[in-house]
A = this chain, B = another copy of it.
């Protein structure tokens, strides 16, 4: 069942996958590089237990090694510790140095490992208090599901950066990053874990504590814009409805009055493009076809030009585009590379005008809280003004959604969201040495 749930969260990390199952206090792990569907079957079938946690991971280049696959599993005074962590801890580097000075050894380059060490050192007398000890002083983003001995624990940082939901199946609690994982196992959504909350589940029952000082809510708006699955409900609202609203607002803010049709860059922009079509009255067309059989290893970076890489993944439908003035809707533009390739494809199929519309604000800074955005140097909107971006992408017009428009469109907004990568308004001081402090991403 854990593998089913993991399966539906594959979009959150394709680098490695793992499951830990606990039976009578004995924990066993299966971890492998690659997709959930690539996990070895025989060891998985051998996993049994009354509790299990799983994880899918992506990280920055360099630390994509099996040592960094999660869940982490170690033994400690308090029994086995198995940890799955989504998010990024911004002061992990400092904490690691402190722990090493106390004699701790680190087997991975993941920020998550500091939590495990701190947990092992806590002298508190309940599992939830030990986790509270471990998380005390931890800055940044964490949505955590873990097992400590015979207790299942989940925790979400006080600013609530990453989603974390609780469901119920046959009376037993189920935790997951998104509700789509509840759906696939047939569990019923119950509620979100609250920012700053720790929940413990064991033979003694379910307990909830709020051990941390309250902080301003900083939920990641990019989850609504791009990262979460459209069939999920996060932060109390529907992702699909959020994207539809973003598309509608985009059509209001940046109309394309003389265009013939609107289409999306599939699949993450489908909802927004339909919203744009509805609001603008332009017909919605399927002008780009995505090839879902694209393997990660088939075409090597050195074998193919940039255009070939776009062509492997997308093809344009000539009969839809030929002779038309078109609106292309995408959810975001990061480096601009893919967009440029798509524009060439669309023009090659005969479009006479290409009007680019983006259902989020320009990305002008990196994320330190768990989204794998590149450094500022590579962000097209961090280094160019609107006209320069338009010219660079080769489009006839370009419109981004405004920051306010974006925040007002998402459910339960506009307050309580982190928009640092759009606005530069970072809730924590940016790490002084990102290279060192972000030694791998804790997604």
Contacts and interface: CB of A to CB of B under 8 A. Distances in A.
Interface stretch (A33-41, A162-170, A354-362): A33-41
B319 A240 contact: yes
A106 interface: yes
Interface in A116-153: 116-117, 120-122
A311 interface: yes
Say how many copies of this protein the assembly contains.
4
A45 to B, nearest CB: 9
Contacts of A105: 74-76, 81, 116-117, 120
Interface in A281-295: 283-286, 289, 291-295
A18 interface: no
A213 B73 CA distance: 38
A274 B317 CA distance: 15
A117 B100 contact: no
Interface in A1-29: 3-4, 7-8, 10-11, 14
A292 B285 CA distance: 21
Contacts of A318: 231, 233, 238
Given A183-B315, A271-B286, A103 B117 contact: yes
B35 A311 contact: no
A100 B104 CA distance: 11
Contact of A286 (B102, B240, B316): B240
Contact of A297 (B37, B274, B298, B320): B37
Nearest to A316: B231
Given A278-B283, A291-B10, A121 B106 contact: no
A38 B285 CA distance: 32
Contact of A101 (B77, B107, B278): B77
A229 interface: yes
B107 A312 contact: no
B103 A37 contact: no
Nearest to A288: B231
Given A37-B293, A231-B318, 11 more contacts: A4-B308, A4-B312, A36-B295, A74-B107, A75-B105, A75-B106, A76-B100, A183-B316, A230-B286, A240-B319, A292-B292
